[in-house]
Amino acid sequence: KFVPELLEQNVRVETIGDLEGLPEATRKVLKQAIADTAHCTGLILNFAINYGSQDEICHAVQTLARQVAEGTLKPEDITPDLIGQNLETAKFGSLANPDLIIRTSGEERLSNFLLWQAAYSEFYFTERLWPDFDEGDFDQALAAYASRQRRFGKVLDTE
């Protein structure tokens, strides 16, 4: 029932995770929403459902290991970029690695979420519960993000 609004806003629906563990009716609704919005080129609404980052990384490594076993890939050719290209989020291209991750409910942990992709993400933690998180909370998170100096793993130059 939310698809017409997503279409109006040019929002594409995607998922990551194992949908096979969901009830058939839920899978059907998700697949239909994905199909209906596939042409949208604006924001991506990504549902991480039955998703675990360790499983995602494991599947990517298994794919590369099979290629090594088949002789189509040399172990020394495996790079962080190649691993990233084999993760579920690779379909998002330049949007695969989030700039900002907002964690609600006061929890300050990753909880097996986008472990590889979050390497250089900024985090914003709030006590607010997800159902209560509103536009004002989002604005606060964006303001906190905007005030940070992103270094992408580099040391801050203090000279």
Residue 64 in domain: yes
Residue 157 in domain: no
Residue 154 in domain: no
7 and 28, same structural domain?
yes
Sort residue 53 into left (φ over 0), alpha (ψ -120 to 50) or beta: alpha
Q: Model confidence over 48-78: pLDDT tens digits?
A: 889 999 999 999 999 999 999 999 999 999 9
Q: Model confidence over 122-138: pLDDT tens digits?
A: 999 999 998 899 999 99
44 and 58, same structural domain?
no
Question: Is pTM, for the whole model, over 0.85?
Answer: no
Helix H segments across the chain?
3-8, 24-37, 53-70, 80-85, 135-146
- Name the residue range of residue 137's domain: 97-148
Pairing of strands 100-103, 44-48: unpaired
